Structure 1
Amino acid sequence: MHNALGGLVGWIVGIISQGGYGGVALLMAIESACLPLPSEVIMPFAGYLVSIGRFNLALVATAGAIGCNIGSAVAYEVGARGGRPFVERWGRYILLDHHELDMVDRLFQRHGAITVLIGRLLPVIRTFIALPAGIARMNRLRFHIYTFIGSWPWCFALAWVGEKLGAHWDNSPALRSTMHGFDGIVLLFLLAGLGYFIVARIRRSRRT
């Protein structure tokens, strides 16, 4: 289990370490294309690199927001060209079930285009909000403007948390020494949570 989670984290770390801002944009594009790659892992690590002087916080947030636009453009086109039947048929392969699709679809129908801006600040919803926008054929320019404006604060906040945690970690040998003993336990719980998340979504997809 340690190796499985370590492999995922190591892959994310490697992409960002080797790709720089482009790596951040790439990973956030994958996340925003409705693939289950959490921004809650991507951006805090980028924030840690801010704490050691590798990145600039504002530029990290901007790279993340640009990645969100790129990935969301893919999801938008899927919705626009395939429509809801296509999403319903193939959504289970990205662990998207009807409940989540109905939720974001209702929000979009009720509140219109502004949902794209607000939805980018909300977990789960932010990942899939581009699909109903594409199905409704929302104006593309407005879609990208709202996506960027909504994504930037999300990326900034997560990177800021990573920066602050990184600064405390590096400046406190006692904290670093204490937490090192809990690494295995933390990894175990993270893997258990990730496994539950994936299994639950697969089961919901099979029921729909």
Structure 2
Amino acid sequence: MESLILSFVEYLKQFGYIGIVLALTFEFVPAELVLPLAGYWVYEGDLNFWGTVFAGTLGGTFGPLTLYALGRFGGRPFLEKYGKYVFIREKEINAADDFFHKYGAGVAFFGRFLPGVRTTISVPCGMAKMNVWIFSVYTFLAMFPITAFYVYLGEKFGPKWKEAGPMVKEYMLPVAAVIIVVLALFFLFKYQKSRKLRNG
């Protein structure tokens, strides 16, 4: 299966950055395979780092939107019946559904960093009819650092780019924790600043 996906991605390489967007728009194509490979293309000088990161983030936003649409317009019965054809099993839908109901709309951001719910979290967001623009913004913001990390490692590993995927999985949670802390500090700073302005 991996060799088939790699052949497909290699074919899309001829379209440059648009090829990366297209590859990641298909949710059955794993980002942990595409993005380090794209990083290797950066290493070879075929692509620009930031152009690749932006294209990967865009594709990583379009892909979840397809699952969001399936959840929103097809509903759970549709996904339970046909989800297996896009590699979504009932167990994964249940895990993502539980996670969504536990943590609310923020899962569209935080869920991207968690193995096991990262892909399928889009489904309950769609079923709950979460605002599509909020969903897209959260997804884009989460996918940007993930994409940059994958592409960076793919570039640094060069010909050994396949080692990047497992490494990212290992460090995904610590990276998420750092991002959450930074965001919390940012919003705290903004809150304190607006409070001072209100109090004169």
* TM-score for both structures, normalised by structure 2: 0.74
1:123 partnered with 2:115: yes
Q: 2:11 — aligned with what?
A: 14
Deviation per residue, 1:92-120 (Å, 9 max, x gap): 22232211111111111110111110112
Q: Which of 49, 55, 62 is the matching residue for 1:57? A: 49
- Tell me the equivalent position of 2:94: 102
For structure 1, the residue ranges without an aligned partner over 5 or more in a row are: 170-208
Output the CA distance in 1 between the equivalents of 2:66 and 2:55. 17
Identity %: 35
Q: Which has the higher contact order (CA 8 A, sep 6+)?
A: 1
Aligned residues: 161
Structure 1 pair 43/93, CA: closer, same or farther in 2 (3 Å)? same
The CA deviation string for residues 151-185 of structure 1, in whole angstroms up to 9 with x for no partner, is: 1111111111110011789xxxxxxxxxxxxxxxx
Task: Tell me which moved more, 134-143 or 70-79.
Answer: 70-79
Does 1:91 find its partner at 2:83? yes
Letter in 1 for 2:39: G
Q: Given the alignment, which residue of 74, 84, 101 partners 1:82?
A: 74
TM-superposition CA deviations, 1:20-66 (whole Å, max 9, x none): 110111111112xxxx2211110011001111222222221111111
SS in 2 for 1:120: helix
Does the Cα contact within 8 Å between 2:5 and 2:29 map onto a contact in 1?
A: no
| Mapped contact 2:23–2:59 kept (Cα < 8 A) | yes
TM-score by length of 1: 0.72
Q: Residues of 1 paired with 2:40 and 2:75: CA distance?
A: 40
